[in-house]
Amino acid sequence: MEPSGFLDCLADDFARLRAVAPTDLTAAVPSCPGWSVADLTRHVGEVYLHKTLAIRDGAEPEPWPPAELATEEPLALLDRAYAGLLAEFAAHDPEDAAGSWYAPGQTVGFWMRRMAQETVIHRIDAELGVGAPVAPVPDDLAVDGVDELLKVFVEYAVAQWADYFTEILAGSPGWTYTLRTDGAAWSVRTGPGVFRVTDGAADAADVTVTGPPAAMLRWVWGRELAGEPSGVTIEGPAGAVTQLRRCIVTATQ
């Protein structure tokens, strides 16, 4: 996707989040255990502010968040933070430098993509929390979101912060996975200290996960509701699926 496409999706999903959240700020968010919709709203606002400063100052602010944000009303914080983020995006080209935890993505464009993906997942959280219908996710955004999670989050995290994955992967026999959706596929190979992602389906995968783009996005991010039919089909050993899920959860904490 082009940066303009990410910004369009960001605007659409922010509008949906902003419309849904006020209907019940006290509701529990099932996909974020321990959070209310108010907590979720505050979190998104804090994320927007954090990335605004990462672009403005050229480095991600630490420590975070400032204590004074805890006293700000969640919706007011969300609105203020979103306005600041958009202003920062408007003041820069996508290729301009920005601070980022992801070494290959030290640009404003990286944060345009990341904030579009952050927002679509959290507006789904808000919808699940208040019991609203989950709005459609454009196929191109969903496919990009799966790609981002596998490569930017999990593959990069295993390479950079291997200690967090030692227990998960130490006993791995070397599983292979294929994730396949409309117009895209990824192969994943695991082993002790290894999580490798390549484009395209594996020749002979131990685990195959298939489904439409939006369903695949919700599955990899753990945004399916317990007890509801899954939008994806999974074939392969349960232990291998559990290993993949644990890697994803650890990388996205």
- Dump strand ranges (E) for the chain: 176-181, 184-191, 194-199, 207-210, 233-235
**Burial class for 42, CB neighbours closer than 10 Å (0-12, 13-18, 19+):** buried
- The mean pLDDT value of the chain amounts to 97
Per-residue confidence at 226, pLDDT binned at 50, 70, 90?
Answer: confident
Q: What is the CA radius of gyration of the chain?
A: 18
At residue 229, the pLDDT reads 87
Nearest Cα neighbor of 190 from 178, 175, 200, 210 is 175
Per-residue confidence at 32, pLDDT binned at 50, 70, 90?
Answer: very high
CA 251/CA 243 separation, integer angstroms: 12
In sign, the C-alpha dihedral spanning 73, 24, 32, 114 is: negative
CA 90/CA 150 separation, integer angstroms: 29
Cα distances from 68 to residues 2, 59, 73, 153, in angstroms, run 36, 21, 11, 30
> What's the pTM value of the predicted model, to 2 decimals?
0.96
Q: Please answer whether residues 108 and 4 qualify as being in contact, where contact means their C-beta atoms are separated by less than 8 angstroms.
A: no
* Mean pLDDT of the 182-208 span: 96
